[in-house]
Structure 1
Amino acid sequence: MRGFRSLTPIEDAVKILGKHISHRVEEVEEVGLISALGRVCGEDVYSPIDSPAYDRSAVDGYALIAEDTFGASSTNPIRLKVIGRAETGAIPSDLPIVSRGEAAEIMTGAPIPPGANAVIRVEHVRRMEGFIEVEDQVAPLQNVSRRGEDYRRGEIVLRKGWVIKPWHVGALASLGIGRLKVLRRIRVALLSTGEEVVELGSRLKPGQVYDSTKPMLMALLSSYGAAPIDLGLAPDDPEIIAEKISRGVEEADMVIVSGGTSVGERDLVPEAVSRAGRIVVHGLAIRPGKPIGFAISSGKPIFMLSGFPVAALVGFQALVVPAIERILGCAFDPPPRVRGKLTRRISSPPGIRTYVRVRIFKDEDGEVMIEPLRVTGSGVLSTLTRGNGLLIIPEDLEGYDEGSEVEVELLSPIFEGG
């Protein structure tokens, strides 16, 4: 088997990738607010109104004139006459008018009655028949949410390129915005290669395996809001592979080919990819995933990922996600991280960034423990389903000793107990 001439560090590969991708998704579509979740905002969004639209109470209590409470104390309580009640949803003409020496009972979120300029919490007054006694001084505007405090009319709420989160949906709804322009979904064509790979639903023959990598990649793409296009399976024929890749370049914004990416005689993907585009990087200084690479055609990336699921996952996170961000002009949240103590020593070859599948759990004392999974094969999916994180060992380290405190990427919740 021929080896790689050189291996590219992952940071360099990402920079090279960004410089070569010129294709962009710019088409927008209008969707309902709930359907916008996870999509990329297609334009700057401005508030059409002041929010809140009026001064309102931030607490349950009594609306009053702050100056009436100046000098109030436990030895000098101030008595105020209760003249009415301000409820949530009340219209201004129904609100009592507060004058000096008066107060109005008020609910959280209710409009501040005319004349009042502060609210005292209900637990800070002594209630009497028709009156309240105040022993605490209240500052003007205390416990008052001012008109436009959340958003002023014309203020920017969302920027183009932001990924819509649930709290964005809530903010837009509070402003009466029910529809939103978002970028169309990025289209990603996927192709699996290999004579031994068969589609789900087929009967396995000796020497055959089900295609697990492509479904996993399609699920990953969907989680990033992409629209996967299934190009099916291709046999070990560079002409057929190249034809399918070219079709993918025409129909999609990027192409992912899994399997056959190494440098063995039957690994024909690099040859086929070179017919459909120009190979820019082939061979990364990572483990698993060394044979990963990418080409460019019409400004669009063509990724060569391993046919082994774990290596393909590493390649997806390392290269495909940055490419999606580049094409959409957005940034996704990085995976959450957690620190813990390593249960055993783990080694890594120098000059290689190693991704180790780990199980993260809390011991009996509540301490976070990081257990490297012993299975080393990059095609063993059980290391992902049994584990819940990735430990990334940088190129300048040869591993970590048992008991070392390390930081890992969290893929799923931490297990309780060993």
Structure 2
Amino acid sequence: MKEIRTEDAVGHVLCHDITQIIKDEKKDVLFKKGHIVREEDIPALLSVGKEHLYVWEKQEGILHENEAAEILYRISADIHMHGSDIKEGKIELIADCDGVLKIRRDALIAVNSLGEMMIASRHGDFPVKKGDKIAGTRIIPLVIEKSKMDKAEKVAGTKPIFSILPYRSKKVGIITTGSEVQKGLIKDTFTPVLKEKLDEFSCQILGQTLPGDERSQITSDILSFIDQGADMVICSGGMSVDPDDRTPGAIKDTGAEIVTYGAPVLPGAMLLLSYYQNNDKIIPILGLPGCVMYARRTVFDLILPRIMADDRICADEIASYGEGGLCLNCDVCTFPNCGFGK
């Protein structure tokens, strides 16, 4: 930082805010720290009594906040997002497509632990839409050692801290279990809910079957949809531990890998998530509990976006839903802008 005559400050960077006070009219910042002085700024600076200014002096090994902010952006963003204009060492990351946000949490913590810089983001593993703000980054001081930014690049690693997995178009088979539905004793109110949720994504419904409670028939219907090219199969109902609820066993009989039968989420504790390998294709097979039919938000809302983005879900991730897995069933639902599943 050095002091120079205001008339000589063109092209230099201010090290502090310049405040303008007009009695009974205003008291506000005329120029913020970090502002690059222009020729047309000189009269305004002189009018507030600033005949000398403190400006940033370029030093070897020292970066201006905006230069350092570019580095934070570079280690943060992937190809599916862009940065805002730089302002006072700040850059925001904006989504360029719909998809699921993924965060390399270890890298995020490592960078934020260095001090004098920060990255704040929305929750990962949740859907984002084109134009959504993903994260905000900032350099705290006006200047920062280049060595510190070199360290940030090192701890962040070679991959971006944030990435977006775009949604994929999928063909879906729906299997509605229950003899009461098969025999027409009750109206099928489950499938319309599934179709409504699937309509939020690029899905083609291959068809729907009504196998009743026959375990072997449920298995056969699942495999039939897979033979027809299904990218996902959803079984609705028959997910409790009652002896006549045979969906979990039927899914297991396909040879699918069962990730979990049960989830620490309410509503949705009786979820079954599995993956079936058909040559080089991995096909999710879901067993959905009855709550999906009547509750506004359930475990299905947490996992469906990830499935649509081909983001494979493991058992540990399902277990982690326990914290935040309780839907409060608010009078006005604001999901996903709430704590459910986070």
TM-score, with structure 2 as normaliser:
0.44
TM-score, with structure 1 as normaliser:
0.38
Rg comparison, structure with higher value: 1
Higher RCO (CA < 8 A, seq sep 6+): 1
Q: Which has the higher helix share?
A: 2
